[in-house]
Amino acid sequence: MKLEKNQKLLFIGDSVTDCDRAKPEGEGLFQALGTGYVAIIDAFLQSTYPELGIRVVNKGISGNNVTDLKARWQEDVFDQKPDWLVIMIGINDVWRQFDSPFIPDRHVYIDEYEKTFRELVEQTQSKAKQLVLMTPYYIEPNPNDAMRHKMDQYGKVVKQIADEHHTLFIDTQEAFNTVTKDLYPAAIAWDRVHPNHTGHTLLAKTFLNEIGFDWRK
């Protein structure tokens, strides 16, 4: 297992990460981590490796795009001094281009996305022991679907930044693609974005497998 004793593991992202977490802290009692994949990861870590004392913090905020992350990076990342930082951002950057096509102020196009994302990673790399970059996703099995297609391009940006900076990398789109061979997207998310418990569990399982979690410990 790649996580070590007493490390702080911070997740930042949009509504998929947020999931009604406590504001502003994002950790502690009373379901402060929300009800999504972050809470599932935390619960498996605490119940399986209680001796490690991993501290999990959730800094997702619904509706955020990469520009919104940049605006709160000092407070929500640097000031938190995480050992591990997990970033999943980009769904809203793409989605607004499709559900609000005529309001360009709410779009983040791929160049700005890439530039901002890379900037955040570069500034952070020396300050955290481990970065994990998760792609954005769209729970749509057809790769030629217009929004899925664009999301894939954003995902490739994430992969490229991960490669350049030798971070851990999680291809969430790939994870959903595997499941949607057997399940229609509506069985995971009516809107193909906000997953039900099945979808969040898939995200959590993929993450935990990536970091070498021992399920039968």
Q: Find the binding residues for a second copy in span 165-204 (CB under 8 A).
A: 179, 181-184, 186-187, 190-191, 193, 196-202
Choosing from 1, 20, 22, 44, the residue that interacts with a second copy (CB under 8 A) is 44
Supply the Cα-derived Rg of the chain in whole angstroms: 16
End-to-end CA distance of the chain: 11
Tell me: does residue 74 bind a second copy (CB under 8 A): no
Rounded to an integer, what distance in angstroms lies between the CA atom of residue 172 and that of residue 217?
25
- Catalytic annotation, pick one of 20, 83, 145, 194: 194
Catalytic residue flag (residue 62): no
Rounded to an integer, what distance in angstroms lies between the CA atom of residue 42 and that of residue 145?
34
Tell me: does residue 153 bind a second copy (CB under 8 A): no
> Taking the C-alpha atoms of 128, 171, 116 and 91 in order, what is their torsion angle to the nearest 10 degrees?
-120
**40 exposed, middle or buried (CB, 10 Å; 0-12, 13-18, 19+)?**
buried
Catalytic residue flag (residue 126): no
Choosing from 33, 89, 91, 139, the residue that interacts with a second copy (CB under 8 A) is 33
Tell me: does residue 99 bind a second copy (CB under 8 A): yes
* Best CA proximity match to 91, nearest among 196, 208, 194: 194
3-state percent breakdown (helix, strand, coil) of the chain, nearest 5: 50, 10, 40
Query: Side-chain half-sphere of 27: how many Cα atoms within 13 Å?
Result: 15
Q: Which is nearer to a second copy, 31 or 74 (CB)?
A: 31
Query: How many residues at the interface with a second copy, by CB under 8 A?
Result: 54
Catalytic residue flag (residue 197): no
Tell me: does residue 27 bind a second copy (CB under 8 A): yes
Task: Tell me the closest approach of the beta carbon of residue 66 to a second copy, in angstroms.
Answer: 19
Which single residue is written with the structure tokens 């020396």?
126
Choosing from 81, 100, 119, 153, the residue that interacts with a second copy (CB under 8 A) is 100
- Catalytic annotation, pick one of 15, 18, 107, 200: 15
Give catalytic residues, as residue numbers: 15, 191, 194
Q: Which residues bind a second copy (CB under 8 A)?
A: 6, 27-29, 31, 33, 35, 39-40, 42-44, 46-48, 50-51, 53-55, 95, 98-103, 106, 142, 144-147, 179, 181-184, 186-187, 190-191, 193, 196-202, 205, 209, 215-216
